[in-house]
Amino acid sequence: MKDGFLVTPFPLPSGAKEFAKDQKWDELDGVMKNAVHGELKTYLQQFKKFSHIEHMLALRDGDNPDEEDGIWHDDGSRVLAFSWSLIFFGKPSGGTLGIRPRGTTEAIELGPFDPGTLIIFQTGIDGFEHRTSRVTHGKRLVCAGWCS
């Protein structure tokens, strides 16, 4: 992975678009869980060996007055991380994923991306850290996850 990350299209599971647009979070989480533990896990294992994968839906909203930049962190002992775009509401302003070698100040800012775009990125084990910037307008929805 050049510069600690890879951006690639990865097909979303059936129903993801409708569940996201209708804000049916439990249903969306269910189809994403099946995909994360199935096709995505198989795909990610070509980059790193791992036995456990976890995910969450992460919604950042520019209309939220408490919205702020995330903090730089390295995900501890996890061996790989990912962000799978579910942005079906138009492109937000902000909400980029910053990735940098730990201990440096120059970061690469990625996104926001069209739905079905997968960002795979290295973690602290390989000397990288990341953060998500504040969304200033619109909404950013991703399925974020970690492998250990």
Residue 121 carries which side chain, given as an amino acid letter?
F
The two beta strands, 135-137 and 93-94, are antiparallel
Q: Helix and strand tally (H, E) in the chain?
A: 3, 10
Residue 34's SS3 state is: helix
Q: pLDDT (tens digit, 9 = 90+) per residue, 63-80? A: 999 999 999 999 988 999
pLDDT score of 2? 81
Q: pLDDT (tens digit, 9 = 90+) per residue, 78-120? A: 999 999 999 999 999 999 999 999 999 999 999 999 999 999 9
pTM equals: 0.96
Q: pLDDT (tens digit, 9 = 90+) per residue, 15-74? A: 999 999 999 999 999 999 999 999 999 999 999 999 999 999 999 999 999 999 999 999
Of 8, 128, 138, 118, the closest CA to residue 55 belongs to 118
Domains of the chain, with CATH numbers? 2-147 (2.60.120.620)
For residue 112, say if its preceding peptide bond is cis, omega within 30 degrees of 0. Answer: yes
Tokens of 81: 């991380």
